[in-house]
Structure formats: structure tokens, C-alpha cells
Chain A
Amino acid sequence: MVAIENIHKTFGLTTALSGVRFEVAEGELFGLIGPDGAGKTTLFRILVTLLVPDRGTATVDDLDVVRDVRALRRRLGYMPGRFSLYPDLTVEENLTFFASVFGTTAAANYDWIRPIYEQLEPFRHRRAGALSGGMKQKLALSCALVHRPRVLVLDEPTTGVDAVSRAEFWENLAVMKDSGVTILVSTPYMDEARRCDRVALLQNGSILEVDRPAEIERRFERRLFGIRARGRRALLEALREHPQAHSVFRFGDSIHFAAAGADLRPELLGTYLEERGFHEADVALIEPGIEDVFMERMQRV
């Protein structure tokens, strides 16, 4: 449904994208994961025909993003990173407006947008500017969907949004995916990768990995230990001094220790800590997550 082939884009001296390539199948929920400045927005703007790449090609539904602009736009729903609805129009007026831009009406597409829009209906006469953050997002999603696009492109819909609203937003995306829309969504939150069928990890304009989240995690080739013990900084520093320390990072209430060699065992690490005065440390071999992989790949670049 979406094919991106060797896309390059520079702005002055800054290289935003260098040789990005991946494909997204019809009906897939595809995540573009990376921090600010990785190139997520630039790539999405190219896909929705707002920017022209320096090199490379991209097609959506077999239409070229440079040559077939007009035909392509009808098939795309785009939700930019910044809130881009009309704050002085009501919820209903915004929806009517975006439908009319595409030569349709909200009424004709009501069943299609209903799973998202019905959560907003009690507020349909409220000005969009007066909605809460989570409600604004639902309205923006409804407006991006109202002309029944085949592909939805959502640029960081969950940035700056609290954990509860984030979870709700992903539930809504799952509903839209079930109705057959192909969805591309970008996020700086690594933990959201698991909500996607496949993800691309993007850093400094280059793809680090593209695959199903579980496959990416499986490719983490080091033994990874999770350590819980008293002592914040001192514990981290003691672990970084371990001869087998490849990388040592805080991870919530524990520390993740990736070993340089293949023979380190939890008991050995426990003894090492005991000798340095960290008693009753809880050390276990753990499965890596997307964030572990991301940091590992970042350090390699």
C-alpha cells in the first residue's frame, strides 16, 4: 500500500533523511519510532505530498507522491503533529468543514467515523479550542478520517499526552485498523512500538531496524540483566565498572545491564555487587524491549 524507496532529504546543511526505505502492506498498523529530530515528520510530509524528496521515490496506493498529488490526497488522511483544527469553530463545524474540502459530508460518512466521533458527540457544539487534549485528538482523528481515506498518516498523535489518553488513542487506532485502513503513525515513546504490527526505528535520518516488534527484540544479541538494589547513582557506577559491562542504563525501578561476553550469570553479578556493599541485590536475566534495542543500535552508529 505504501512503498518508500531510498528517500533522501536535506535542509541546507542538515540531512533530514538519508536512504530511507520500507514498505507498508494494506491494512497494516505501522509505527515510525524515533526521538525528535530523527526525521519522522519530514518523511511523513513527503508521504502526504507536502514536501518533495531530493532523491528517491515514494508511492501510496501505487500513486507517486510527486507526480500524482491531487489523486493521492483524496486517499490520504493526515493528522499533523501540531493541533491544526479551527479553534473558533465548534466540533461539528470542524468536521463539516473537513468533509466539504473533500467534496463529501459528515452525514454520508457517519457510520464510518462513528466509533471515534461518538465519544465527542456530547460536546459537538463546543468550540474546538475549548476541548481537553484527549478530546482535541479525537476530533483531529475524526476530521482526518471523514473522507474515508485508504491510508491514515498520524504524526506524533500521543506526544505530550498523558498515559491514560495515550492508551485510549491506541485503542481507537485498533478500531480503525479493524475497518481496513492502513495506518502509519509516528511516536517518540518506545513503549508504543508494541501496539504496532511492524515498526521502523529511525535515528538521525536513517532506519536502524524495520520489523515486527517481537522480531526486533529477538535480534538483541547480548545477555541482558535486570538489577534491583538499593543505591541509585553508586549502583549504576559500580555496574558500569564491571569488566563485562557493555552498556548500563536505568530502566524505571531497575537497571538494565547488557553484558559484553556470553558467560556472565546472574549469580556472578550478584556476588560482584555483594562484594561492593550492595546487599540483597535482585539480579535476573531478562528479555529486552524495543528501548533496549534502540539504545544498542544508537550506540553502534
Chain B
Amino acid sequence: MNVSIEPSVRITARGLTRRFGDFTAVDAISFDVAQGEIFGFLGANGAGKTTAIRMLTGLLTPTAGEASVAGFDVYTETDRIKRNIGYMSQRFSLYEDLTVRENIAFYGGIYGLSGTAISDRSAALLDRLGLGHVGGHRIGSLPLGWKQKLAFSVAVLHDPRIVFLDEPTGGVDPITRRQFWDLIYDAADAGVTVFVTTHYMDEAEYCDRVSVMVDGRIEAIGTPAELKDRWGGASMDEVFVLLARGAA
């Protein structure tokens, strides 16, 4: 297993495949994501996105193919992958019954940060989000938009090189959704590689590059402008529907 890659390439997949019995959920996908890039991983429900993300985050062993994440192998170095990535999804984020500060301390502890590092970063994080006044509030009492911004900040608390965001903005109001993308840009500007899924096709346009997965395969990959050009769509929404409908 020797995928030779540029140091600036943060995620590499070559023929990455996962089968469940007779069913091929992910069918030989290949792509690279560079450091600091915002990569949109699009696909219809059931296209295989979640299975692919589980392999890339070290939670599921591939059936075939090669992949490395942050320079670590998805077969043999899953523990090191987990330590070097951040992860957040719409469903799994923070503990509702813990306060904001308790959540930060809890995740900081899991990621192995020291007590002083946690309290320093906690203060800086709350300051940056303008949420210092709710540090002692239970997460459950906060609006969804605040929770999602906090969840993102907690996911990058340990300075991971890559962050995986699985539908991070589902159901969030339109202003907060855009503020969330400011956080994503901040992280990318600081060199963090962002791997993001979304059902909002306007958000696909905010990515540096996107891939569209259909029935386990990557049917298209490129910048949003390239894809619109190639498939003759006015928007990523049109391109997506064109590609995904072609599958049926």
C-alpha cells in the first residue's frame, strides 16, 4: 500500500470500493483533495456518500482500493486518522444536557487537550462566535443555528488538518447558514481541508470543487463552474438533477 502523493494532498482515494454482500455501495471512486480546499461531496440519498465518508474517517474498512487521509492509510492507520480529523453532522453534534463550556471541555478531553489548552481555546472560541454570554447555558436551550456554529468550532478545537461536515446546515435559517459558511472559509484560509456534504445546491456553489456521486460512482468532479459548463446547467441544482436523474 503505497500511494505516492504530494504533501499538500490531504485526501487521496484510488478505486476505493465497499461492498455489502452482493450490493456495491461505493464502486471504485478516485479523487484527491488538496490542503485548504473546500470539497463538496454531493449525491442523492442512497448514492453511497455515507459509506464513503465512513471509510475515509476510519470507521469502515474498504473492500478494495486505496485511500489515505491526512497521510494515513484507511486500512492500517485508522486511529491516527481519527486523531487528525474533525467530524460534525446534523444529527450528531453536541450534548443537549451539558452547558456550552462543558461540551467544549468534554470534546477537548476526548481529543487529548490539556486543561489549560481547553480553557484558553474555549474562551477564544466563544469570543470569536460572540457567544461568551451563553457559556453556562445548556446546549438544549440554544437556537439551532448557534448550536451548529458551536458544533463546528468544537469539531476543529484540536486543530485537525481535515474536517468532515455531513449536512452541517440542514434546517438552519438562511442567515445563519451563510454565517456557517464564513466559519468554513475561515478554517480553509487557515489551511484546514474541508470535506462537506449538503442538500442545498446553492452551497455546492460555495465549494472550490465538488463531486457528484450516483449509484456508488463519482459521475462528475470539478469546480462548480466547470461542471455547469460541461453539463450545460445554469446552476449546480440543474447539474445535480441532470446527473442524478440519469441514474434512474
Contacts and interface: CB of A to CB of B under 8 A. Distances in A.
Interface residues of A, number: 33
Interface in B107-143: 143
Contacts of A166: 199
Nearest to A133: B45
Interface in B44-85: 44-47
Contacts of A87: none
Nearest to B242: A164
A150 B248 CA distance: 33
Contacts of B43: 162
B96 interface: no
Contact of B175 (A165, A232, A298): A298
Mostly, the A contact residues are mixed
Nearest to B236: A252
B172 interface: yes
Contacts of A298: 173-175
Interface in B211-247: 224-225, 228, 235-237, 240-241, 244-245
A164 B205 contact: no
Contacts of A232: 185
Contact of A252 (B90, B174, B205, B241): B205
Interface in A181-214: 188-190, 203
A291 interface: yes
Most buried by A among B90, B171, B224, B225: B171
Nearest to B49: A162
A134 B46 CA distance: 10
A132 interface: yes
Contact of B241 (A133, A160, A164): A164
B106 interface: no
B9 interface: no
Interface of A: 34-38, 132-134, 159-167, 188-190, 203, 232-233, 249-253, 291, 294-295, 298-299
